[in-house]
Amino acid sequence: MMTGVISTPKVTGVSVGYRVKRFVLGFLKYFSLIFVVFWILLPLVTCFITAAKSEEEFRSTSVMTMPTNWLNLQNYIDAFKMSNMGVAFRNSFIVLVCVCFLTTIMGTMLSYVLSRFQFPGNAIIRGLFTMAALLPGIAMQVAVYKIMGDLGLINSLWGYIIMSCGTDVISMYIFIQYIENIPVSLDEAAIMDGASYFRVYRSVILPLLKPAIVTSLILKGVGIYNEYYTANLYLQDKQRLGTVAISLYAFTGPQGSKYNLICAGVIITLLPALILFLIFQKQIYSGVAAGAVKE
Q: Tens digit of pLDDT for each residue in 189-206?
A: 888 888 888 899 988 888
Q: What is d(CA 40, CA 191) in angstroms, rounded to the nearest whole number?
A: 51
**Predicted local confidence at residue 289, as pLDDT:** 55
CA 223-76-281 angle, to 5 degrees, is 40
Closest CA to 214 of 130, 286, 126: 286
Quote the mean pLDDT of the chain.
Answer: 82
CATH of 74-291, one of 1.10.3720.10, 1.25.40.10, 1.10.1060.10, 3.40.50.300: 1.10.3720.10
* Predicted TM-score of the model (pTM): 0.78
Q: How confident is the model at residue 283 (pLDDT cuts 50, 70, 90)?
A: low
Which residues belong to CATH 1.10.3720.10 in the chain?
A: 74-291
pLDDT at 293: 47
- DSSP assignment of the chain equals -------HHHHHHHHHHHHHHHHHHHHHHHHHHHHHHHHHHHHHHHHHHHHTS-HHHHHHS-TTSPPS-TT--HHHHHHHHHTTHHHHHHHHHHHHHHHHHHHHHHHHHHHHHHHH---TTHHHHHHHHHHHHHS-GGGGHHHHHHHHHHTT-TT-HHHHHHHHTS--HHHHHHHHHHHHHS-HHHHHHHHHTT--HHHHIIIIIHHHTHHHHHHHHHHHHHHHHH--HHHHHH---HHHH--HHHHGGGGEETTEE-HHHHHHHHHHHHHHHHHHHHHHHHHHHHHHHHHT---
212-238 tens-digit pLDDT: 888 888 888 888 888 888 888 888 888
Which residues sit opposite 257 in a β-bridge? 252
| Structure confidence by residue, pLDDT tens digits, 110-152 | 889 988 888 888 888 888 887 877 777 777 888 888 988 888 8
Least confident of 54-63, 174-183, 237-246, 275-284: 275-284
Q: Which residues contact 65 (CB under 8 A, 6 or more apart)?
A: 49
pLDDT score of 194:
87
Mean pLDDT value of segment 68-91: 85
